[in-house]
Amino acid sequence: MKSLQSYLDSNKDRFVQELFELLRIPSVSADSAYSKDVFKTADFVADSLKTAGCDAVEVCQTKGFPIIYGEKLIDPKLPTILVYGHYDVQPADPIELWDAPAFEPIIKKTDLHPEGAIFARGACDDKGQMYMHVKALEFMTSTDQLPCNVKFMIEGEEEVGSDNLAEFVKNNTTKLKNDVILISDTGMIAKDTPSITTGLRGLSYVEVEVTGPNRDLHSGIYGGAVANPINVLAKMIASLHDENNHITIPGFYF
């Protein structure tokens, strides 16, 4: 059985160069000027999954940027892990704060990284983490050590709200069926402290419009009888949590 460390030692230079190639593509989903680059990155991820050993890889078109699906199924009786990640990145602005071009990866030593670390846009959010899982699959398939079924769902719109992800998941429940979802797009407590995030909070965007009188009302005549919209809105916001800081929205905890 070939050890992981020996495999890493033998392929480290190749892994780094492949990651650098991925990091050089400016897959900025928030800027339409980079649309071609985002699609190019999608194809790169798909090819990487094929090379890593996936038996089936699909570039799934959406109303926005593609979602890459890949799978390596070895036994239906074994558990299935679904790996989630994203290949799009945030804009590099402000450019003047970069020591080197944001899409020209370099390895640099710092006080925090005395052994050196890769610096580039997307190196840690989320191309680096996502590619780590791809290379882990490559190791396990090439050495015949894959212990379970593996699926990948890598999207290209995480940095702009994942607008098309929900519809994709809803329409592909059978394809995405799994026992465990693995996400490497969170954080670590510290560089020397391995961290596992077991739960994440989502976001809910709500617009509330409160209307009131179209002119100032005399407080001596109308005060207390006509509600002030500011007070109404303040009460609405305050009512979202109880005295124990629990969210009071019906159905929130389901």
Annotated catalytic residues are 88, 158
> Parallel, antiparallel, or unpaired for β 149-155 and 180-183?
unpaired
User: For the packed helices 35-52 and 4-23, what is the interaxial angle rounded to 10 degrees?
Assistant: 160
Encoded tokens for 231: 């007070």
- Residue matched to tokens 């905890």: 253
Q: How many CB atoms lie within 10 A of CB 159?
A: 20
How far apart CA 120 and CA 246 sit, in angstroms, is 40
- Any alpha helices (H) in 88-218, and if so which ranges? 127-142, 165-171
Encoded tokens for 238: 């305050």
